[in-house]
Amino acid sequence: MAAELVQRFESVQQVREGLRELDYLADDGIAGVAYLADRLGKPILVEGPAGTGKTQLAKSIAELTGARLVRLQCYEGLDESKALFEWNYKKQLLRIQADKNSDSWNEIHDDIFSEEFLLTRPLLEAITADDPVVLLIDEVDRVEVETEALLLEILSDYQVSIPELGTIEAKQIPLVFLTSNNTRELSEALKRRCLYLHVDYPSMEREREIVLAKVPGITDALADQIARIVRSIRSLDLKKSPSVSETLDWARTLLLLNIETIDEQTAKETLHILLKYQTDIAKAAKELSVDE
């Protein structure tokens, strides 16, 4: 039983507009790749600096398609029993003890390794679900190289092999997002199975639109100024450039403080919202106050 490939989107245009209505402003690349992933039935590997909306993309796509989001947060030490499936030992034990005398061993053996005693973990859950789902495998660069192999079967064939039970194939092909902060090179095998999408800091125009969309009540002029200052700060050589979420925090702060135009003084006083390292703050403050 091979799963049918459902087509969720009509066109790239539709994806972009749909996302826009959800206040996720996609650029050409993002919408195009999401559309392609749907058509080709392939997972998307989203890479980029922290705080540029990688996880949000998966959430917004789930919302757009009306699907449930199944999330697997990766961490060092993640293993099969947390990602794929686990046998419900307690229930198995109970089953054996419940009718100790009646059943023959063979029957029990066959019985306790059936789906009834299987605990599904995110990956298995995503492919066995009856309702539409979007699978998000978050921060995949945190697992060890060896653990990546766990993902390969599900990513290329949408199936999970369970030694005692056989192969479970997907009832539907979910949209799969993998995100990575690029702290290490992912294996070739994993990359080959995915479409690659790099999400970078947005252009100034897009950032301004994001601020306008996400921070209600902000004026055009202030949003414009925020976007320009953030771009200026990003062009400095910093330890950690301000992310989009930090830009939004800053915008909200300025709004709360009833500031209409940013001058040097306000900028310097509120820099700690954008930047999190003392050296970065000092550097940016110095740069912004250069009077020529």
Partner 1 sequence: MTVTDQRSMLDLLNGFVGQLRDAGLPVSLTENLDAMEAVRHIPIEDRDAFKYALGATMIKNQAHWRSFETVFEVYFSLRGPEYALTQSSDGDSELDDLWREMQEASQQGDGRGGAGSLDALTPEEIAHLLMQALMQGDQALMKALARQAVQRFAGMEPGRPVGGTYYLYRTLRNLDLDGMLAKMMEAAAQQSTGPNTGLEQRLEREEFEHRITEFKAEVEAEIRRRLVADRGVEAMAKTLRKPLPEDVEFMHASRDEMVSLRKALQPLTRKLAARLARKRKHGRRGPLDFRNTVRHSLSYGGVPAEPKFKYPRPAKPELMVVADISGSVAAFARFTLMLVYAISNQFSKVRSFVFIDGIDEVTDYFKATEDITEAIHRVNTEADVVWVDGHSDYGHAFEVFWERYGKDVGPKTTVLLLGDARNNYHASQSWVIKEIRSKARHVYWLNPEPRSYWNTGDSIVGEYGAHTDGVYECRNLRQLEGFVEKLA
Contact positions with partner 1 (CB under 8 A) in 211-250: 225, 228-229, 231-232, 235, 237, 239
CB nearer to partner 1: give 13 or 114. Answer: 13
SS (H, E, C) 92-120: HHHHHHHCCCCCCHHHHHHHHCCHHHEEE
The binding track of 66-105 with respect to partner 1, each residue x by CB under 8 A or -, is ----------------------------------------
Q: How far apart are CA 250 and CA 236, in angstroms?
A: 18
Site string for partner 1, 169-208 (x = CB under 8 A): -------------xxxx--x--xx-xxxxx-x---x----
Residue 198: both structure tokens together: 């790099």
Contact 58, 65 (CB under 8 A): no
Q: How far is the CB of 112 from partner 1 (least distance, A)?
A: 21
Alpha-carbon gap, residue 156 to 183, rounded angstroms? 24
Does position 14 bind partner 1 by CB under 8 A?
A: no
- CA–centroid distance for 102 within its chain: 50
To the nearest whole angstrom, how small is the minimum distance from the Cβ of residue 237 to partner 1? 6
C-alpha of 56 from chain center? 6
Instruction: Give SS3 for 135.
Output: strand
**Contacts to partner 1 by CB under 8 A:** 12, 28-29, 32-33, 35-36, 39-40, 42, 44-45, 47-48, 144, 182-185, 188, 191-192, 194-198, 200, 204, 225, 228-229, 231-232, 235, 237, 239, 261-264, 267, 277, 279, 283, 288-292
